[in-house]
Chain A
Amino acid sequence: MSVTAPSAAELNVPVATRVISFLQLPPSGPIQTAIIYAPGNADSVAEAASIERAIGAGKGRIRVKRIAVGALGTLAGTQVAFVTGGLRGEQDEIAQAATRNHVVTITSDQSCVASARCVVAIATSPRVQITVNRAAARAVDAKFGSAFLMLVKEI
């Protein structure tokens, strides 16, 4: 098994999992993490598979399960969700489900965070840039350490 670097459009999983550690009162024990994807979107499916491979290599505390965007009712019980690209039409539903279940959403799709529907966006090209949406974080009761927030872009 090999670990390959994600493409620029895909979520950088090592950075995303590190972001979780900067949550105030981060989840203890295994962290139930959803991968929200669109079954009919090839790019979304490919990104979900890429995330699974990366997490699988980690064997850490992250426990992932795929949740199709049409089955957001099963998001309950998860603490973090990795939101794949290709879900712009469903971002409202994702935000509502995340708010109901207090799930921190992390994505590589900047538009999801810019529109306050996702909490954290991660861009890695040409270098790591993390964006945190205050309103979205507040909606899911997520609080980050101040040192982390001073290094990211808060909108």
Chain B
Amino acid sequence: MMRHSRMLAAIAAMALPVVPAAAQTVDYSALEAVMGEPVTTSVTGRPQRGSEVPASTVIITAEQIARSPAHDVPGLLKGYAGIDVNRWTAGQSDVAVRGGVQSYNARLLVLVDGRQVYLDHYGMTDWNLLGVPIEDIQQIELVRGPASALFGFNAASGVVNIITKKPGDAPAATLVAALGDHDRARVAGSVMVPLAAGIGIKLSAQHLREDERRVPDALLTPGRLPDVTASQVASELFVHVGRTTATVGGGYATNGQMEYLPSQILSNQFYRSGNVHASVARDTAWGGLTVSGFVNWLDATYGKDALRDRPNAALEIDNRIVSLKAAGLYRFGDNNVIRLGSEYRNNRIVGDAQFADTISYDVASVDAMLDLHFGDRVALTTAARFDRLWLGASGPVAQPAFNDPASFDRAFSRVSLNAALLVQVGANGRVRLNGGRGYQLPSLTTFGVRIPLVTATPLPFPVFVAGSPLLDPVGTWSGELGYAHDLGSTRLEATGFYTRTSDAIASPGDGLQDLLEFHLVPAPVAVARFQVAGDYQTYGVELSASGRHAALTWRTNYTWTHTDEQVGSLAAPIALAFSPRATTPQHKANVALGYDAGGRWYLAALARYTSPTRQFAFTAMQQLALFRVEDAIGIDARIGYRFTTRLAGYVAAENLTLASGVAGSPIPADRRLRAGLRLSI
């Protein structure tokens, strides 16, 4: 069987696709097959080998995804150095890079095929609303550190770019069905069909439900604990004509789950999102041109079942993003590239719980990247981006108004930078010195939200939580020094990093006395604002080793992260739910093992250690407090069996050790088992 499998692999490697790889501009699977390692465009915009990118990067391939015990993208990312994954609830996860753990993390930009899926209304990522079944992912690329010079605002701590599979030369279909404990049920499928020479279509869909985790009585909970539900359908059409590739697609997704809001209040949300997107890429003798655009819609319902006596009380936020981008790559000299790009974006939210009916901004950007190679041993990459933002509010203003409407008539500019120097040392070593300046943009909600607060004890005047149009982008400086060395099939990496984040923004918490501003006309009203919480710095070391020996693959890493912070008091009552030092684990370590000889059985396991943290949550008495999250060793595992070349089954488990602190949440982690079948045609 092993010999048979290797032969099939060799046949697959030599099969030439009907759609030429050259016509697809960047065909990730074909480029990976020919270069012997994954290829990415997420660091500089130009295709680069994973081992040669001028940044600290993780690339998770389709093969690794298929064998992983993880059930979602955060689960796949958590086993790598420098990554914190907080599974606040069964459905809500946040991924933080190099510290700064916070719910609704607004510092990580998440893309699917270069299209933003990060939700701009609140500056967060709903990983259950990506609209991509995990089986449909070609590779996941994570760039650690600011990447705003390429991607703009919100790539302040890193970027995750999820590359999906594209139709090949033959029809293909995948169907996955899985059941698990906690009433988990999932079905997903995708179909890829070549319609004619150079034309292909892809359809995908999935549905998921599972129970929420048990919430301790000590925590403030919504009136009802909902199940996690997520559904999505998507379609894309690909057309290749000569040197031009065009893609048109769209999708619709829904997700309902309980979440920790930025204030660390548990709340039930329901999201509906849709998108349409299109791109045209032209490959030329000197490089290439790409024009793309997308429209994302989001209808978010916040606070469902927040009050037992008012089950239908909820806030509605409608968000729409329009983005148009153009970029050109020009090759010159032996291996040098310049990239020029521009983007226009309009982003708006409409709702009742905000300063005016519509809060919006427009952003116009230009960016440039220069990648120079001096012989075979030295490469210098520099990139800069200029963003100009115009903020605005329109429609009826909610009364009483807490801001002069003119304060929303505001514009500002920011320049983001990235630079990297790569030096080849000997035959197998590579030194990397890189850094950057990136920005996290205050979300539209942070600018303009206006929510009446229900207080534990009645007050003689109403209290509102409100955004502020005067908030500035949160700036991040980052620098790192890394060394990578290949020893045969073993790769060793070491990176030291330093990150400074200034004027971080936080949501009002509990002890609002010092934060309240009072408006006396026409009637007394108190307002607690989203506001600057302070500065913090993280520095640390990431050590990684990985290799493959025959049928055994292994990967291990250790991360030490130290956080200094200049924020408000954490003594009760806590005014702002913000303390990167308390919430970020100082030590993390992972060991991942996989065994796959190409026969019927394969095995994969991940063991992860995280040191203790403290995480914010509201007590049942409606007081914001820090809850200790114990250190934890979590073990995830998956065992698979291939019945035939088309049908395979698996059993997977997450948190076999039932370590409560594995989730990094005030809500203790539970153990989750699942089993499924996968049919590939």
A contact set with B: CB distance below 8 Å: 1-3, 13-15, 17-26, 31, 54-55, 57-62, 124, 126-128, 130, 143-151, 153-155
Contacts and interface: CB of A to CB of B under 8 A. Distances in A.
A11 to B, nearest CB: 13
A59 B14 CA distance: 9
16 contacts: A1-B7, A2-B3, A21-B22, A22-B21, A23-B22, A24-B22, A57-B7, A61-B16, A127-B486, A128-B35, A128-B36, A145-B22, A148-B21, A150-B48, A150-B331, A151-B39
Contacts of A147: 22, 25-27, 31, 47, 283, 288
Given A128-B35, A128-B36, A150 B46 contact: yes
Contacts of A148: 21-22, 31, 34
A146 B286 contact: yes
Contacts of B21: 18, 21-22, 145, 148
B218 interface: no
Given A19-B34, A126-B486, A147-B283, A60 B14 contact: yes
A146 B283 contact: yes
Nearest to A27: B16
Contact of B25 (A15, A21, A130, A145): A145
Nearest to B4: A2
Contacts of B47: 147, 150-151
Contacts of A149: 331
A39 to B, nearest CB: 26
B520 interface: no
B281 to A, nearest CB: 10
A22 to B, nearest CB: 5
Given A22-B30, A130-B34, A60 B49 contact: no
A57 B36 contact: no
B17 A21 contact: yes
A61 to B, nearest CB: 5
A31 B20 CA distance: 13
Given A127-B36, A144-B22, A145-B23, 18 more contacts: A15-B36, A17-B14, A19-B34, A20-B16, A25-B20, A26-B16, A54-B14, A61-B16, A145-B20, A146-B283, A146-B331, A147-B25, A147-B47, A148-B22, A150-B46, A150-B329, A151-B48, A153-B334
B3 A146 contact: no
Given A144-B22, A150-B48, A21 B16 contact: yes
Contacts of A124: 36
A20 B216 CA distance: 61
B138 to A, nearest CB: 15
Contacts of B284: 146
B285 A143 contact: yes
B13 A150 contact: no
A146 B39 CA distance: 14
A62 B21 CA distance: 16
Contacts of A127: 36-37, 51, 486
B15 interface: yes
Given A26-B20, A126-B428, A155-B334, A18 B33 contact: yes
Contacts of A1: 7
Contacts of B286: 146
A4 to B, nearest CB: 9
Contacts of B394: none
Interface in B421-438: 427-428
A126 B427 contact: yes
B335 interface: yes
A61 B33 CA distance: 17
A128 B34 contact: yes
B625 interface: no
Contacts of A150: 46-48, 329, 331, 335, 337
A144 B488 CA distance: 31
B34 A22 contact: yes
Interface string B319-339: 000000000010100110100
Contacts of B48: 150-151
Nearest to A134: B334
Nearest to A31: B16
Contacts of B521: none
Nearest to B52: A151
B10 interface: yes
